[in-house]
């Protein structure tokens, strides 16, 4: 897989939507200067900023990380999964188990290090989710509820419900989730 230029992808989607940088800045509450730096590759956006930008552009977050080559393949080899690695202070990884976003469902694998959370604040998206814990013990904050899930436990997350994950185990936790429609 080649290098993916996230800033160029943001620029491409912004132009496709007909937004100026100022219009996107207003929608995202990020500064025009910051968006310009991101688009030119002079600044790296946080995962939360990327989620906000994706929502403002009405696209799934993973679109920023899609490699245009070979998107029609149906098999995703373990060594060739598209990975979304978080910034230095967050060592967790999302891996796309789906070859592309053309279907009606998206499969994603999450690995979360001990004590880490997926985001500081709960986030929501339009897709419905179902998740199963493959290894470890994890806490999910779901709107007003908090649930602890052990290996083998699963949960359904309705569309639009704010949520976040927290590893409460002493080892890496692995969760597989499906989103329909694809929106990650």
pLDDT in tens, 86-131: 554 456 778 888 776 667 788 999 999 999 998 888 988 878 999 9
150, with CB counted inside 10 A (0-12, 13-18, 19+), is exposed
CA gap 20, 161 in Å, rounded: 30
- How far is Cα 79 from Cα 126, in angstroms, rounded to an integer? 29
DSSP code for 75? -
Q: Does the pTM of the predicted model rise above 0.75?
A: no
CA distance 54 to 72: 23
Residue ranges of the chain whose pLDDT lies below 50: 1, 70-71, 88-89
Closest CA to 163 of 147, 149, 181: 147
DSSP one-letter string for 81-127? --EEEPPTT---EEEE-SS-S-SS-EEEEEEE-TT-BS-SS-B--SS
Domains of the chain: 6-59 (1.10.260.40), 78-180 (2.60.120.10)
């Amino acid at each position: 897989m080649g290098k993916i230029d996230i800033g160029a992808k943001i620029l491409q989607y912004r132009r496709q939507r007909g937004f100026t940088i100022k219009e996107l800045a207003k929608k995202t509450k990020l500064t025009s200067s910051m968006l310009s730096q991101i688009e030119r590759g002079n600044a790296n956006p946080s995962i939360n900023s990327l989620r906000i930008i994706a929502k403002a552009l009405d696209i799934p977050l993973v679109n920023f990380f899609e490699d245009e080559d070979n998107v029609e393949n149906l098999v995703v080899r373990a060594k060739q999964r598209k990975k979304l690695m978080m910034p230095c202070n967050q060592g967790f990884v999302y891996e796309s188990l789906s070859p592309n976003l053309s279907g009606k469902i998206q499969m994603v694998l999450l690995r979360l290090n001990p004590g880490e959370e997926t985001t500081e604040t709960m986030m929501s998206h339009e897709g419905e989710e179902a998740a199963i814990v493959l290894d470890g013990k994890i806490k999910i904050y779901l709107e007003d509820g908090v649930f602890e899930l052990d290996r083998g436990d699963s949960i359904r997350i309705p569309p639009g419900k704010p949520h976040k994950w927290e590893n409460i185990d002493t080892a890496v936790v692995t969760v597989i989730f499906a989103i329909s429609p694809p929106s990650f």
